A and B are shown apart, each in its own frame.
Chain A
Amino acid sequence: MQVFKLCMKIIRKNKAAMLVYVLVFLGIAILISRITAQHPVTSAFSTAKANVAFFTEENTPLVTGIKQELSKSSNFVKIEDNTEALQDALYFRQVTYIVRIPKGFTDKIMNGEKATLERTTVPDSVYGTYIDMKINRYLNMASLYVNSVPGISQEKLVSDLKDDMGKSALVTMTSAKKANDSEKPFTAYYFNFLAYVLPAVLIFGISIVMQIMNEKDRRSRTFCSPISPKSYNAQLIFSIGFLAVACWAVLILPCAVLDPSHFFQQSTWYLVLNSFVFLLASLGLGFLISIFVQGMSAVSALANICTLGPCFIAGVFVPQAFLGSTVLKVASFTPTYWFVKVNDTLASTTHFSYDVLSPVYGDILIELAFAAAFFAVGLAGSKRKRLET
């Protein structure tokens, strides 16, 4: 077990660096899960209320009427009335529609003249069409009254409009699709973000060990010794496996502490199993990278591609439901896709019947196949390298 002992020694010597990786990525995982669990991504698209900033330069019953009518379809957002604040809010979708009623607007409407109010919205957006429709409806009806009932008072107009606008069509909901995304607990998000954190920590951790083990002189010296390459590789993989399991345990535990009510549920054990298999795939990936790439800047550049890239296309940062089918097809060539798919399936079910679990096991097997493939290519690469030297 000399190789294993040496690896342990290297790990001990570099424990500060390893600790930095684990703590930083742990922090990132907790932060992202916390914040995403507070604002589920779906809410931005599924609420049928647009965020509206409402400014008016006059206060008349009609303006109040417009505002009241709009409140049925909008959340009014209070915001500072200066260009930069408005632009910023529009960009980050804190508001999606800004309406400004100019002075003299009410008089023009009451006299049947042409009047316009100013609006700014995300160009060509759904929100724009929706709120435009609401405003135009209200004002068209108002002008209908003004033109047809001569001398109608503003108060009467607003109260009549209020009655008319109260009429609403009957909507039947079929229960074919139920909205479930909004109820996901912290644990569900946390396990998804492990798809970013686990490979990142492992690639860096393994690279530290392997950079030292693969140094040219040290390698040559090691292979002079009477240790068979098979035993060397087995011990090497065993020691990085040891490192991986330690990291995995450290990364899973905080979830139990932070969200105990959801963590100790039956579904979590499947999540844990899934993350363990994903750990094997990440381990394989880390091993593969460290065989082929030398130098920390190259490793960290490559690690970025292998961790952030799949997370974007496989549904970690952007839910799978929002991704196009082509994107998901590309993503299915990464273990991350299958990991997230299993997590999402588990998060949306409460009954763990055979029908639910059999595709889950299938997907977990695919992750396992990825792990096997990474190790196979890694070992082949390591053999080629040995023969070259």
Chain B
Amino acid sequence: MFAHIFTNRLKCLVRNPITLFWTLIFPIVLGCFFNLSLRNVYGDETFSPIPVAVVNNETYQKDAAFQTALKSVSEGKDKIFTLTIATKEKAESLLADSKVAGILNDGTTIGMTVNHSDFNQSILQSFLDSYLQTSSAVSSIMSQNPAAYQKMAENLKDQTDYTKNVPIGNASPNGALTYFYTLIAMACLYGCFWGMQEVTDIQADMSQQAARINLVPVHKLKIFFSSLTAAFVINFSEILIFLAFLRYVLNVDFGPRTGFVILTSLVGCITGLSFGSFISAIVKSGEGLKTGICLAFTMTGCVLSGMMSQDILYTVRQNAPIIEFLNPVNLLTDSFYSLYYFTSLSRYWLNIGLLCAFIILFCTVTYLIIRRRKYASL
């Protein structure tokens, strides 16, 4: 009986190609949009050599030490600046067009001209400061120990790197990823529409088809379970296609634990379906209101888990951490995030555990409402 209902229900669902198409395509299209806008923003943080203009005048040509110092930081693999040596006018027009971050040797002894302040300008300033500070140190040392001159010159030549990079964990903290993770969570929870439909199609007071189905001598839960499984198969396949798209087309990194990523999506799909059935079972009036409530919960969940702006997520985390645990979208997003970013799985299991608790709650309430319904007339 299970196989019969399952296959026929699957056929029913597949024969609504418009719904199938849009539910599959919407996360993919949104993923592309996210990719377009976020790659650029997070790309901005990466350090690339800073374009700098140097005014080519007499002072610059005479000052060999300054030339050498500039040359040392604008050559080689780890260069900090890309230099443009230009006339004063040219340099100014480059700055006005924001082609360079600042102008060095602008007429003052050691100084620069910039048009706004940002990290690049601060790095530039820091370079000039170092030039001044080193000369200050040299004269201070000379006053304390004049004999050290020779040694100092050698010392100044080799600059040591005192920092050692110690990465925490294996993954790079790429903030753009959580936006994609919220999108997967959203797509999973959109499974609620499938779940909602399943309840509408089995509660005799909600649709004519359901009234007919209620007449057949098959246990109601068996019908419900079989058709829900069919909806799950469709929803889960859509999510798997979406995951593959994210991974292989948009190159979204999920970390090394693929099996757990798929498990998370599976739990996510079940959460969506059971949530939809739950809403559909408790809200008796029309489809419009049910859809409204489902959407309201999903969209609020997405907003609170940082889909539109991660500042919202920080604010929630700082002011009302409890909301994080009551928000299934956030639990899913955080599961993907923990899998990608943390070595330990404790946070992941906490999220999955809470999601399972939600599923049990939704299913139990749905079960209690739809079981043993008798209708005197319809």
Which one of B40, B114, B116, B130 contacts A324 once the chains associate, using CB atoms below 8 Å? B40
Are A120 and B168 interface neighbours, CB within 8 A?
yes
Chain B residues whose C-beta falls within 8 Å of the C-beta of A60 in the assembled complex: none
Which one of B106, B291, B303, B315 contacts A17 once the chains associate, using CB atoms below 8 Å? B291
Say yes or no for A301: interface residue by CB 8 A criterion. Answer: yes
Which one of A90, A145, A172, A301 contacts B25 once the chains associate, using CB atoms below 8 Å? A301
Are A164 and B140 interface neighbours, CB within 8 A?
yes
Encode A119-132 as 1/0 by CB contact (under 8 A) with B: 11111111111101
Encode A289-303 as 1/0 by CB contact (under 8 A) with B: 000011111101110
Which one of B47, B115, B129, B194 contacts A297 once the chains associate, using CB atoms below 8 Å? B194
Are A90 and B114 interface neighbours, CB within 8 A?
no
Chain A residues whose C-beta falls within 8 Å of the C-beta of B307 in the assembled complex: 308
Q: How many A-B residue pairs have CB under 8 A?
A: 333
CB distance from A307 to the nearest CB of B (A): 10
Are B36 and A32 interface neighbours, CB within 8 A?
no
Chain A interface mostly helix, strand, loop or mixed?
helix
Segment from A79-87, A267-275, A340-348, A363-371 that makes contact with B: A79-87
Chain A residues whose C-beta falls within 8 Å of the C-beta of B110 in the assembled complex: 169-170
Chain A residues whose C-beta falls within 8 Å of the C-beta of B151 in the assembled complex: 147-148
Segment from B169-177, B252-260, B351-359 that makes contact with A: B169-177
- Contacts A87-B342, A123-B172, A174-B115: A298 and B23 contacting too (C-beta < 8 A)? yes
Are B167 and A120 interface neighbours, CB within 8 A?
yes
Say yes or no for A257: interface residue by CB 8 A criterion. Answer: no
Say yes or no for B61: interface residue by CB 8 A criterion. Answer: no
The docked-state distance in angstroms from the alpha carbon of A99 to that of B292 is: 49
- Chain B minimum-CB-distance residue to A14: B288
The docked-state distance in angstroms from the alpha carbon of A301 to that of B291 is: 12
Are B119 and A298 interface neighbours, CB within 8 A?
no
Are B162 and A135 interface neighbours, CB within 8 A?
yes
Are A164 and B137 interface neighbours, CB within 8 A?
yes
Chain A residues whose C-beta falls within 8 Å of the C-beta of B210 in the assembled complex: none
Are A124 and B47 interface neighbours, CB within 8 A?
yes
Chain A residues whose C-beta falls within 8 Å of the C-beta of B129 in the assembled complex: 165, 167-169
Which one of A20, A27, A86, A149 contacts B292 once the chains associate, using CB atoms below 8 Å? A20
The docked-state distance in angstroms from the alpha carbon of A112 to that of B217 is: 90
- Contacts A171-B114, A324-B40: A293 and B47 contacting too (C-beta < 8 A)? no
Enumerate A83-139 residues with CB–CB distance to B below 8 Å. Answer: 83-84, 86-87, 90-94, 98-100, 114-130, 132-137, 139
Encode B121-153 as 1/0 by CB contact (under 8 A) with A: 111011111111110110011001100100110
Say yes or no for B111: interface residue by CB 8 A criterion. Answer: yes
Which one of A139, A200, A301, A323 contacts B23 once the chains associate, using CB atoms below 8 Å? A301
- Chain B minimum-CB-distance residue to A311: B308
The docked-state distance in angstroms from the alpha carbon of A142 to that of B251 is: 45
Enumerate A169-195 residues with CB–CB distance to B below 8 Å. Answer: 169-179
Are A83 and B169 interface neighbours, CB within 8 A?
yes
Are A20 and B133 interface neighbours, CB within 8 A?
no
The docked-state distance in angstroms from the alpha carbon of A175 to that of B165 is: 39
Are A168 and B300 interface neighbours, CB within 8 A?
no
Are B310 and A144 interface neighbours, CB within 8 A?
no
Are A126 and B119 interface neighbours, CB within 8 A?
yes
Are A17 and B136 interface neighbours, CB within 8 A?
no
Are B113 and A174 interface neighbours, CB within 8 A?
yes
Chain B interface mostly helix, strand, loop or mixed?
helix
Encode B281-302 as 1/0 by CB contact (under 8 A) with A: 0000111110111011001100
CB distance from B144 to the nearest CB of A (A): 5
Segment from A1-9, A220-228, A312-320 that makes contact with B: A312-320
CB distance from B229 to the nearest CB of A (A): 18
Which one of A48, A119, A175 contacts B164 once the chains associate, using CB atoms below 8 Å? A119
Which one of A41, A83, A309 contacts B29 once the chains associate, using CB atoms below 8 Å? A309
Which one of B114, B288, B303, B347 contacts A28 once the chains associate, using CB atoms below 8 Å? B303
Say yes or no for A235: interface residue by CB 8 A criterion. Answer: no
- Contacts A87-B173, A149-B145: A21 and B296 contacting too (C-beta < 8 A)? yes
Given A98-B168, A118-B163, A301-B190, 18 additional A-B pairs, CB 8 A: A14-B286, A24-B299, A32-B303, A32-B308, A35-B311, A48-B118, A90-B168, A125-B47, A133-B123, A134-B126, A137-B133, A143-B155, A160-B137, A170-B112, A171-B114, A297-B190, A304-B186, A317-B37
- Interface pairs A-B: 8 shortest CB-CB: A169-B128, A297-B193, A170-B111, A148-B148, A17-B288, A20-B292, A48-B122, A301-B22
The interface of chain A, by Cβ under 8 A from chain B, is 13-14, 16-18, 20-21, 24-25, 27-28, 31-32, 35-36, 38-39, 41, 45-46, 48, 50, 73, 83-84, 86-87, 90-94, 98-100, 114-130, 132-137, 139-141, 143-145, 147-150, 152, 160-161, 163-165, 167-179, 196, 200, 204, 208, 211, 293-298, 300-302, 304-305, 308-313, 317-318, 322-324, 327, 330
The interface of chain B, by Cβ under 8 A from chain A, is 16, 18-19, 21-23, 25-26, 29-30, 33-34, 36-38, 40-41, 44-47, 80, 95-96, 98, 106, 108-123, 125-134, 136-137, 140-141, 144-145, 148, 151-152, 155-156, 159-169, 172-173, 175, 186, 190, 193-194, 197, 285-289, 291-293, 295-296, 299-300, 303, 307-315, 337, 341-344, 347
